[in-house]
């Protein structure tokens, strides 16, 4: 089984759409054999004319769980990544997903689905790639770079020392920065990106992505304490670019919470 640590343009993450992340687990097949993902739709060679792409996948050898993302590896548990032209779009935990075609040029593109472990290591042997022909009937206006300076992010809730258990919500205030889920995995644009939530560390392999719970594009993120030991844990909210790399220098806030 080939396991790959994601490089800078292929960083992993976990959330969906522009709303707060609420990571549900889908119905899962029996957990046995290697981790494998395949496309049900679209089919290889399909022509895409809409401004978003609906995807359905089939998987085997593991149970889907976004609640476990960024936590220690558990055999038979994980999620999957979708890449567009070999750049990570997002991480998903249900069989259906949607990919925005914002800022995607017409023509041939490669779509890839890969199984991933809780720490976002990809299982290369379980991936599938297909080719798509993007011919938009009504192309979206391209989003251009912004001139905003001095971006910032601040955690508003929960407060330091608060007790959390199960599902909980982190809310933030973002200034001089434009979060956009439609630009996940697209070319970097000044002033645009999104934010990640990490637990206990922002460092380590994959620039600390192994401890990332997920990402968001609104002012809130819904996380889970599942897989965390009881006690005090640090939660980080950090600004990243479209390719999921932290802004330089790091722009983040953190809060220490008590997991029950």
Mean pLDDT of 242-260: 96
pLDDT-derived band at 148, boundaries 50, 70, 90: confident
Helix (H, G, I), strand (E, B) or coil at 8: helix
pLDDT-derived band at 23, boundaries 50, 70, 90: very low
- Whether 3-134 and 152-259 share one fold: the answer is yes
Question: Whole-angstrom Cα distance, residue 107 to residue 104?
Answer: 9
**Cβ–Cβ < 8 Å for 239, 251:** yes
Supply the pLDDT for residue 30.
Answer: 53
Those residues with Cβ within 8 angstroms of residue 136's Cβ, 6 or more apart along the chain or in another chain: 48, 49, 50, 51, 101, 106
Supply the pLDDT for residue 28.
Answer: 52
Mean pLDDT of 196-219: 88
Q: pTM for this structure?
A: 0.87
DSSP letters along 91-131, please? EE-SSEEEEE-TTPPSEEEEEEEEEEETT--EEGGG-EEEE
Residue 5, pLDDT > 70, answer no
Pick from 102, 183, 99, 181: which is nearest to 138 by CA?
Answer: 102
CATH number assigned to the domain with residue range 152-259, chosen from the 4 options 3.10.129.10, 2.60.40.10, 3.30.420.40, 3.30.70.360? 2.60.40.10
Supply the pLDDT for residue 176.
Answer: 96
**pLDDT per position as a tens digit, 161-189:** 999 999 999 999 999 999 999 999 999 99
Residue 97, pLDDT > 60, answer yes
Cα Rg, the chain, nearest whole Å: 18
**pLDDT per position as a tens digit, 120-136:** 999 999 999 999 999 99
**Where is average pLDDT lowest: 41-45, 147-151, 204-208?**
204-208
Supply the pLDDT for residue 171.
Answer: 99
Supply the pLDDT for residue 7.
Answer: 41
The full set of domain ranges for the chain reads 3-134, 152-259
CATH number assigned to the domain with residue range 3-134, chosen from the 4 options 3.30.930.10, 2.40.30.60, 3.40.50.2300, 2.60.40.10? 2.60.40.10
């Amino acid at each position: 089984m080939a396991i790959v640590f994601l490089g800078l343009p292929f960083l992993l993450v976990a959330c969906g759409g522009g709303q707060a992340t609420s990571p549900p687990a889908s119905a899962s097949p029996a957990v046995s054999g290697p981790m494998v993902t395949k496309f049900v739709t679209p089919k290889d060679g399909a022509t895409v004319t809409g401004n978003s792409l609906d995807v359905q996948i089939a998987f085997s050898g593991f149970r889907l769980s976004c609640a476990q993302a960024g936590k220690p590896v558990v055999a038979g548990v994980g999620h999957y990544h979708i890449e567009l032209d070999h750049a990570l779009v997002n991480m998903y935990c249900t069989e259906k997903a949607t990919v925005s075609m914002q800022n995607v040029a017409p023509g041939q593109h490669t779509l890839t689905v890969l199984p991933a472990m809780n720490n976002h290591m990809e299982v290369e042997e379980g991936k599938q790639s297909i080719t798509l022909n993007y011919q938009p009937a009504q192309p979206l206006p391209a989003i251009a770079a912004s001139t905003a300076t001095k971006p910032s992010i601040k955690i508003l809730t929960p407060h330091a020392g608060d007790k959390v258990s199960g599902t909980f919500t982190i809310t933030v205030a973002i200034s001089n920065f434009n979060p956009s889920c439609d630009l996940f995995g697209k070319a970097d644009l000044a002033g645009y990106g999104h934010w990640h939530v990490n637990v206990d560390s922002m460092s380590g392999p994959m620039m600390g992505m192994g401890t990332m719970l997920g990402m968001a594009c609104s002012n809130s993120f819904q996380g889970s304490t599942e897989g965390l030991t009881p006690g005090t844990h640090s939660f980080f909210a950090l600004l990243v670019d479209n390719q999921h790399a932290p802004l330089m220098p790091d722009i983040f806030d953190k809060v220490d919470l008590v997991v029950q």
